[in-house]
Every structure is written in C-alpha cells, then in structure tokens.
Amino acid sequence: MRDRRPEGERLSRATAHRLSLYLRALAVWPADGGRMSSTRIALACGVTDAQVRRDLASLGHLGRRGLGYDAPELSAAIRAVLGIDRVWRAVLVGVGNLARALLRYRGFRTQGFEVLALFDADPTKVGERVEGLAIEPTERLTDRVRDLGAELAILTVPADAAQPVADQLTAAGIRGVLNFAPVLLRLPPRVKLVSVDLAIQLEQLAFLIQHGEPAADPAAR
C-alpha cells in the first residue's frame, strides 16, 4: 500500500510507537461492520480520542466522521508507514535462553520479520537446530549476512561481546540492530539501533512504585 502522508512529513518515534499499539488493537478488537472508531482504539490503548485522531490524520484521509475507519484499510496504512508491509530479513546472534524464547514467538513472522540464520561463538552449539534453523559459527557472520541480504540483526550476546559483534554486523551491511545486551553500543548513523535492557525497565518500574508515581501512559515514550 502506498504511503499516504504528505510528502516530506516525518513521524516522531512517539507517534510510531502509538501506531504500533493501534495496530495491535485492530488485530484483537472486533470491528463493527468492518469499521473501527477512534473511541474504541483509544480505549484499547489508553490514550485520548483526540490523540488517536491526530495520529491517524498523519496517515492521510482515512476516516469518515460518524463512521470511523475501515479496519482493513487502516491496518494496511499503519503497516505501510511503519515499513512492515514487506518482509524484513533478520539474523540472530547469541543463541542462549533469551534467544530461544524469542525464536518461539510467532509474532515476528506475522508482522513481517523473518529470522533466517542463527550464530553463536560457542563451538558446542554449532550445528544444533533451534526452531528449524542450524546454529552457525560467528566466524561466518559477515559472509552469511551478505549472502542472505539480511537487513536487521537481533543481538542476545553477553555485554563484552556486543560491540565487536555489532562492528562485524555493521561491516557486513546490516541496517538496524535490536540489542538485548546490557551495554551501550556505538554504531554509525546509517545503522539504526533499538536497545531493550530489561534491567532498566525493572529499575523504572521500581522507581514508579517507590515514589508513588501514576502508571505510565502505555503510548508515551
């Protein structure tokens, strides 16, 4: 589906995050006659009706006053603007317990992300099959990333290995890294980085409880 936004307009990370939430709501909440109202989306995602309308207006003229949004059309528009209206080829490096749990998650494939290869520095793991993929040695990482045309990498390696592996992936032409290692990576601007540090998230949860702060808006980032 073609991106309907006005030419040159860019979405903020916060808006993109809320759009992901709206997409989840569209997937699990039944639409009335194939249509979904901003009120129902707002209720599902914990934001205001006005916020939903502002965010969806950035996608183009999709809704009709009093009738809401055509649910399939809205889902397609969100997927297009998020860039998940196609398949993203990915590799995973560091096949420990966290990686195995991630590989069992079927949502990656349904959302357009396909993990094509697994790598690990432990020679005892090489050749083992996990979710249908054979673990390969990290020595082959650069060549395999290029051969596969992979654009994304998931890092679930120990902290001390994360930067060297990230450098290797960068040299191979990876465009984006999802980093689960508890370390700050240094990457060139052309390589986009999203870090998921579970300890930091728990620290923030402890802070909210300790200081009696109200629950965070799930759509605010």
pLDDT value, residue 184: 94
Question: Do 93 and 178 share a domain, yes or no?
Answer: yes
Ramachandran area for residue 161 (φ above 0: left; ψ -120 to 50: alpha; else beta): alpha
Query: How far is the C-alpha of 117 from the C-alpha of 136, rounded, in Å?
Result: 8
Stronger pLDDT, 50 or 5, i.e. the higher one: 50
| Contact yes or no for 106/44 (Cβ under 8 A) | no
Please give the mean pLDDT across all residues of the chain: 89
The amino acid that residue 84 corresponds to is I
Picking from 82, 101, 125, the residue at the C-terminal end of a domain is: 82
Picking from 66, 82, 98, the residue at the C-terminal end of a domain is: 82
Number of domains in the chain: 2
Is 8 within a domain?
no
Question: Do 95 and 152 share a domain, yes or no?
Answer: yes
Question: Do 17 and 58 share a domain, yes or no?
Answer: yes
Least confident of 156-165, 173-182, 203-212: 203-212
pLDDT value, residue 140: 96
Question: Do 57 and 73 share a domain, yes or no?
Answer: yes
Q: Is residue 162's pLDDT more than 50?
A: yes
Query: How far is the C-alpha of 21 from the C-alpha of 44, rounded, in Å?
Result: 9
Picking from 82, 97, 127, the residue at the C-terminal end of a domain is: 82
Is 215 within a domain?
no
Rounded to an integer, the average pLDDT of 156-162 is 96
Tell me 8's DSSP state. T
Which range of residues forms the domain containing residue 17? 13-82
Is 1 within a domain?
no
Q: Which one, of 128, 166, 171, lies nearest residue 146 by Cα? A: 171
Question: Do 94 and 194 share a domain, yes or no?
Answer: yes
Question: Do 53 and 138 share a domain, yes or no?
Answer: no
Is 112 within a domain?
yes
Rounded to an integer, the average pLDDT of 178-206 is 94
pTM: 0.81
Is 68 within a domain?
yes
The values of phi and psi at residue 129, to 5°, are -100, 130
Is 169 within a domain?
yes
Is 210 within a domain?
no
pLDDT value, residue 66: 66
b/e 28-39 (16+ beta carbons within 10 angstroms → b): eeebeeebbbbe
Is 216 within a domain?
no
Instruction: Provide the percentage of residues in the chain whose pLDDT is more than 90.
Output: 71
Question: Do 94 and 78 share a domain, yes or no?
Answer: no
CATH number of the domain to which 195 belongs: 3.40.50.720
pLDDT value, residue 67: 78
CATH number of the domain to which 42 belongs: 1.10.10.10
Q: Is residue 124's pLDDT more than 70?
A: yes
Which band of pLDDT confidence, cut at 50, 70 and 90, is reported for residue 34? Answer: confident
Query: How far is the C-alpha of 118 from the C-alpha of 135, rounded, in Å?
Result: 5
Question: Do 35 and 132 share a domain, yes or no?
Answer: no
